[in-house]
Amino acid sequence: MSATIPHIHWTDGALRLLDQRRLPHEVEFVDCHTAGEVAQAIRQMVVRGAPAIGITAAYAVALAADAAWRSHGAQWRTAIAEPLAVLAAARPTAVNLHWALARMQRCMAALGGAAPGPVLAREAAAIHAEDIAANRRIGEFGAALIAPGSAVITICNTGTLATGGYGTALGVIRAAHAAGTLTEVFACETRPWLQGARLTMWELQDAGIPATLIADGAAAALMQRRHIAWVIAGADRIAVNGDAANKIGTYGLAVLARAHGVRCMIAAPTSTIDPDTGDGSQIPVEERGADELVSFRGLPVAPPGSRVWNPVFDVTPAGLIDAIVTEHGVVEQPARHGVRGLLRGR
């Protein structure tokens, strides 16, 4: 199968999501008919990746509004508050979720007395399409920073599966590969969820980009032993001072990069920048359950009762980031001026 199958697919009052928990070896879809089902799919990581979560939540608003219209008619707005709150609480770190909900609420506020579902579904589709277009621009801006003959390290999955399509960090990698400047991508397997092994390797293989899988702990030895030009990662929330939350392990890669003369790029749409978050200390970091570390597909890999600390994001200070790349342009050395300037075009 191909990594290019649509993973967020809206069809007549239902949202079909590719179940990313089972990829790449099992291809199954989850059909969501209610906003509650979408929220559960986000919580359980059927769909993940900050931009993809935002797009999915936008479609869920259309589902919620349609259900509210059918049950409450012209009073549909009173019935939608609860499903919106459930969606907003599905996962705490990625701000794209809140950004998408806010945009959908602005669309709702402008609606007349007709059935809201179709208009909101079109708005969600617009968010979806704009994200793909933004990724293409991120790819171009990011690739322009990559010199010929570059090997790079990436973490987690920031490709089609994490976005509307194409990808953020993986979009930069795609564009650099297309430009002929990229020699090789090293993909950290990205424990505990193995997004790098399961999803990124799949997308890179599908795109014909030379890719090598490494254990997360091997990144330091890789930087020690051969020249790596960039660490390229996505983000789940960027504070206005340039601090960036991303998949657990990103901060460590950034520290290692600085110690080895490797540059660090964060690639994300401006929907990832939170104007209300001054710095990284204000970003809520989700901690998930012990099961992700003590078992693998139901097989135990640690003794029963093991205590676990499982934060699934960390925060990289702006001072360790060499470039933040968005669809509205690049901020190099974001620690100097922050990223508020990127929000003007948003």
Binding site for its own copies (CB under 8 A): 24-25, 155, 186, 188-192, 194, 197-198, 201-202, 205, 210-222, 224, 247-249, 251-252, 255-256, 259, 290, 293-294, 296-297, 299-303, 305-311, 314-315
DSSP state of 146: P
Nearer Cβ to its own copies (214/343): 214
Q: Which CB atom, from 188 or from 339, has the smaller least distance to its own copies? A: 188
* Catalytic residue status for 66: no
Amino acid at site 141: F
Q: Which is nearer to its own copies, 217 or 278 (CB)?
A: 217
Q: Tell me: cis bond preceding 24? Omega within 30 of 0 counts.
A: yes
For the bound state, the minimum distance from the C-beta of residue 158 to its own copies, rounded and expressed in Å, comes to: 15
Count Cβ neighbours within 10 Å for each residue of 92-113 and write b for 16 or more, e otherwise: bbbbbbbbbbebbeebbeeeee
Please report how close the Cβ of residue 304 comes to its own copies at its closest, in angstroms. Answer: 9
For the CB of residue 324, give the shortest distance to its own copies in the complex, in Å. Answer: 20
Residues 6+ apart with CB under 8 A from 223: 153, 256, 257, 259, 260, 262
User: Could you give the CA distance from residue 198 to residue 93 in angstroms, rounded to a whole number?
Assistant: 22
Least distance to its own copies, CB of residue 306, Å: 5
The H or E element containing residue 93 is: none
Structure tokens given for 137: 């621009």
Q: Which is nearer to its own copies, 51 or 192 (CB)?
A: 192
Distance of CA 4 to the CA centre of its chain: 17
In the complex with its own copies, the residue whose CB is nearer, 56 or 190, is: 190
257 sits in the region (left: phi over 0; alpha: psi -120 to 50; else beta) called alpha
**Choice among 66, 236, 274, 314 that is catalytic:** 236
CB of 2 to its own copies, least distance (A): 12
Q: Which active-site residues does the annotation give?
A: 236
